[in-house]
Amino acid sequence: MKRMLLLMLMMSFCTNAQTQRFIYELQFKMDSTKSQYEKLNFALDINPKDVKYYEYAYLRSDSINKATGRYDHQYGSWFPSLKRERNSNKNQNYELIGHNMFSFPSEDKISWNLTSEVKKIGENTLQKATTNFGGRSWVAWFNKDVNISEGPYKFRGLPGLIFQLEDSEANFIFTLIENKNLKKTYDTVGFVETYYGTKPLEVSEKVRTKKKLDFYNDPLQDMRKDFKENMQGEMFVMGTKITKAEQFNDLTKKLQEMLRKTNNPIERDKTMKY
């Protein structure tokens, strides 16, 4: 397993905290054939009744919207957000496809193989566990001194909090970098349960796949409908200013090529067949 740097983490838990928030850094490859990594941070909120997982950037836009009382500032993640009941493997997935948010349920029980191997990172003693999930082999390092059976994304069920997680091909590397105690459970209704006030359409896994294929086949459908010659305001796609309708054909091909190259989901068995 590729060695990861874990910042020294002082795990101080507050007994009257409503939410324990853990921040994970994710290094990932959008294109599995390349060596280049992207980096994003994700929040894992352990609330009294549920668990929520989402990209940390949503919090920045949500704080602006709450200050103004409007949904003017909007952010959209490539990665789905999740919500589940405490001590449950039943996830509600929230995924942005094009400009629309969809939700679908999934049962994601993970069977772990605990090993006796341990390592020390700072003041933390971590134990190794392995599993196969989503078409990938994974190695997790968890801290059994932190009595929280959770981790990033859908990875949970170990006798302790997951500090590090990596797949065997090093396409996805999660590292716990920070924890916070919140005295009040954070209201995520603006970006998890709804997409900035618009309730997501709940679909089945089959329909979700169809929606992704529909978007791939015509990713600029909405923009093409809105476009008018000499329209007021400006419209850009991939940095290109749209001045005539004929540009949409070439830009559609470029977007489709990008979607094919970034078709590397955490759950590889759900890779789209474009």
Q: What is the pLDDT of residues 45-84, one digit of tens each?
A: 999 999 999 999 999 999 999 999 888 888 889 899 999 9
Residue 4 domain flag: no
Q: Which one of 193, 214, 248 terminates a domain?
A: 193
Q: Is residue 25 part of a domain?
A: yes
Kindly report the CATH number assigned to the domain that includes residue 63.
2.50.20
Q: What is the extent of the structural domain holding 228?
A: 204-270
Residue 274 CA to residue 215 CA, distance in Å, equals: 11
Is 39 a domain residue? yes
Clarify whether residues 183 and 213 are in a common domain. no
Out of 153-157, 188-192, 227-231, which region has the weakest mean confidence (pLDDT)?
Answer: 227-231
| End-of-domain residue from the set 129, 164, 193 | 193
Q: Which of 144, 168, 193 delimits the end of a domain?
A: 193
How many alpha carbons fall within 13 Å on the CB side of residue 118? Answer: 10
- Asked whether the beta carbons of 26 and 152 are under 8 A apart, the reply is yes
pLDDT category at 2 given cuts 50, 70, 90 is very low
**What's the one-letter identity of residue 201?**
L
pLDDT, greater one: 107 or 76: 107
Lowest mean pLDDT, pick from 1-5, 194-198, 203-207: 1-5
Specify whether 188 is located in the same domain as 96.
yes
2 inside domain: no
Domains in the chain, number: 2
Cα 44 to Cα 204: distance, rounded to the nearest angstrom: 25
Check residues 264 and 243 and name the one with the higher pLDDT: 264
Q: List CB contacts of 146: < 8 A, sequence separation 6 or more.
A: 11, 160, 161
More confident residue, 222 or 216: 216
Q: What is the DSSP letter of 32?
A: T
- Pair 268, 169: CB distance under 8 Å: no
Same domain, 81 and 166: yes
- 256 and 187 share one domain: no
- For residues 223 and 93, membership in a common domain is answered with no
> What is the per-residue DSSP string for 71-124?
--S----SSPEEEEETT--EEEEEEEETTEEEEEEEE-----EEEEEEEEETTE
The reply to whether 64 and 170 lie within a common domain is yes
In a domain, 90, yes or no: yes
Query: Does residue 167 fall inside a structural domain?
Result: yes
d(CA 141, CA 119): 9
- The residues facing 174 across adjacent strands are 26, 165
- Is residue 72 in a domain? yes
pLDDT digits (tens, 9 = 90+) for 176-194: 999 999 999 999 999 999 9
Same domain, 103 and 179: yes
Element (H, E) at 22: strand 19-28
What average pLDDT does the segment 142-146 reach?
95
209 and 187 within one domain: no
Torsions phi, psi for 206 (to 5 deg): -65, -45
Are both 55 and 135 inside the same structural domain?
yes
Residue 212: phi and psi, rounded to 5, are -65, -40
243 with 147, same domain: the answer is: no
Q: Which residue, 126, 91, 124, is CA-closest to 110?
A: 91
Do residues 144 and 51 share a domain?
Answer: yes
How many CB atoms lie under 10 A from the CB of residue 214?
13
Q: pTM of the entire structure? A: 0.89
Lowest pLDDT segment from 11-20, 129-138, 149-158, 186-195: 11-20
Indicate the pLDDT class of residue 247, thresholds 50, 70 and 90. confident
CA separation for the pair 155, 145 (Å, rounded): 18
Asked whether residue 10 is assigned to any structural domain, the reply reads no
Q: What percent of the chain has pLDDT over 90?
A: 70
Structure confidence at residue 4 (pLDDT): 42
Same domain as 141, residue 166: yes
Length of the chain: 274
Q: Does 5 have pLDDT greater than 50?
A: no
Bridge partners, 124 (sequence order): 121
* Per-residue model confidence as pLDDT tens digits over 6-36: 444 444 444 456 899 999 999 999 888 889 9
Structure confidence at residue 235 (pLDDT) = 82
